[in-house]
Amino acid sequence: MNPVWRWFHQLGSPPYFYRFATRWMPWFGISALLLTVIGMYLGFVEAPADYLQGDSFRIMYIHVPAAWMSMFIYGVMALNGAIALIWRIKLSELLFLSCAPIGAMFTAITLITGMFWGKPTWGAYWVWDARLTSELVLLFLYFGVIGLASAYDDLRQGARAAAVLALVGVVNVPIIHFSVKWWNTLHQGETVRIMGKSSIDSSMLWPLLIMALATKLYFVFALLLRTRSALAEQERGKQWVREAMVEAA
């Protein structure tokens, strides 16, 4: 068997995942913290003021990475939901459930920082812009997944029911991304491009990319932390959990 494929099979084992999370979680957390400090310093201190927006543009270093993460996490959540529905893998159910509150947090940060950025830019905290509205729908989808999953006494049954909702809601992710192209909106267009040259100056781009990496590392840290805790709770009567508790002590 291919070593990478074998590793993925091993990762699906609750005891192996618990040990993996315990080992690597601190590294992801520390790396996320360090990159956040560096990115915030470069973005809020070193980067020059924007020639149109002045210093108000600096909220971008929180708003944009959070917006990227709100969509990225939904994709990860939906993927795990699909795996849970098709192959009934217990760990995927827990990963799916753990993604929802983290994604809801990033989406809420996106909306709140967007409001504070919108006030000096558009003259209003909120406008029913296509991207803002679809991002708000994303927050409701996260809340819907959390609420539906918790409505069932059986955790696994609740996860499968919520996974159906998450898969239906996937259609909203491309709407958020392409809304500025499909409709005439107040929201600015794409300035950072994976393919082709970005329209943002490098002195402003690098802090943004560092913050984007920091948020992804934080997501992995938070996901491992929440899933490990949920796994230990669900498997608390098994021998491997008791052994892991003894090792941790």
For residue range 185-244, what is the model confidence (pLDDT) as tens digits?
656 666 666 655 666 888 889 999 999 999 999 999 999 999 999 999 998 888 888 887
Inside any domain, residue 79: yes
If one counts the domains in the chain, the total is 1
CA atoms within 13 A on the CB side of 121: 23
Q: What predicted TM-score, i.e. pTM, was given to this entire model?
A: 0.93
DSSP single-letter state for residue 129: -
For residue range 31-53, what is the model confidence (pLDDT) as tens digits?
999 999 999 999 999 999 887 78
- Checking 34-39 for CB contacts under 8 A at 24+ apart, the result is 35/210, 35/211, 35/213, 35/214, 35/217, 36/211, 36/214, 36/218, 38/210, 39/207, 39/208, 39/210, 39/211, 39/214
User: Which pLDDT score is estimated for 56?
Assistant: 87
Q: Where in the sequence is the domain holding 209, given as residue range(s)?
A: 23-188+197-232
Inside any domain, residue 7: no
Inside any domain, residue 247: no
For residue range 97-130, what is the model confidence (pLDDT) as tens digits?
999 999 999 999 999 999 998 888 888 888 888 8
Inside any domain, residue 16: no
Inside any domain, residue 11: no
Inside any domain, residue 14: no
Inside any domain, residue 57: yes
Inside any domain, residue 240: no
